[in-house]
Amino acid sequence: MSTYREEQRESQELVIRYLREASAVERAQLKRMCKAYREFRAAIHDFQRRHLHAICTLSCFQSNLSACCNKDGVITFFADLVVNALFSPPHALHHLMQGLNTVRDDIKCIYLGANGCRWHIKPLVCEMFLCDRALEGMKAADPQAVAAWQRLEAEAKRFRWPDRPVLFDLIESRFLAAGLCSPLMYLHNSPGLMRIKRKAGLAWSVRAGSPGGHWQLLQVSIDTDGWIPTQTASSSSSLRPDVADSVRTTFLAAGPR
């Protein structure tokens, strides 16, 4: 089994197990965090239905494939896994895990099944992928649609590009705070993304640090690159106001453990 497949399998298992054992309150909180993102994904679907359905061939949307499915090692963010597991019916998760546990050499993407993608909610990278032919077709049919698509691309960044507090980062932080870790937590382990966070003054995370299991807010020192404790959650007001707001309204809503 390749390292990529193994990482995907272990991370999917970790997320599914965690959510299965999480309280109803916690699951509801996570779902609330994803509300704007779900609305965004619905807008993408609507756009694809209106502007791409006629262009994309049977090998793409109609068979539930996206044009990127022939590439090796699609990038999946940890938050992609969480969103999918949160909103998938149990049989869909079973189907997804079955695929990951079955090594096949005749297909490129490890998530591709006989009926297309096994994700209930595809990774964002896949959802936003447009091949050149689709882009050209869209441009010819409706030049204004291209500008609309570019607006959606910019909007997609608001969920995963950490030059501001973003959902994908907050989800990772929440799982880190619960003591879980995955190589797919790129918002916390990619040097490039960490650099963007530091530049924006956002290189912080939350961990369940104290022996009593209380939430502890940690911040990356921009000067030293080291993790330095700054304050506990209850006194997070000295953070930049928008960051403190995000902390309060998302993962700290769960309160001390």
Binding interface with ligand SF4 (CB under 6 A): 66, 68-69, 74, 109, 111-112, 117, 119, 122-123, 126
Nearer to ligand SF4 among residue 119 and residue 204 (C-beta): 119
Integer Cα distance of 29 and 35 in angstroms: 10
Shortest CB 91 distance to ligand SF4, Å: 17
Shortest CB 118 distance to ligand SF4, Å: 7
Contact call for residues 76 and 123 (beta carbons, < 8 A): yes
Contact call for residues 40 and 160 (beta carbons, < 8 A): no
Nearer to ligand SF4 among residue 76 and residue 219 (C-beta): 76
Contact call for residues 87 and 32 (beta carbons, < 8 A): no
Integer Cα distance of 200 and 166 in angstroms: 12
Which of these, 163, 161, 74, lies nearest to 122 by C-alpha position?
A: 74
Contact call for residues 160 and 168 (beta carbons, < 8 A): yes
Shortest CB 169 distance to ligand SF4, Å: 21
Nearer to ligand SF4 among residue 40 and residue 119 (C-beta): 119
Shortest CB 66 distance to ligand SF4, Å: 4
What radius of gyration do the chain's Cα atoms show? 19
Nearer to ligand SF4 among residue 68 and residue 239 (C-beta): 68
Shortest CB 144 distance to ligand SF4, Å: 27
The Cβ of residue 147 has, within 10 Å, a number of other Cβ atoms equal to 9
Nearer to ligand SF4 among residue 109 and residue 233 (C-beta): 109
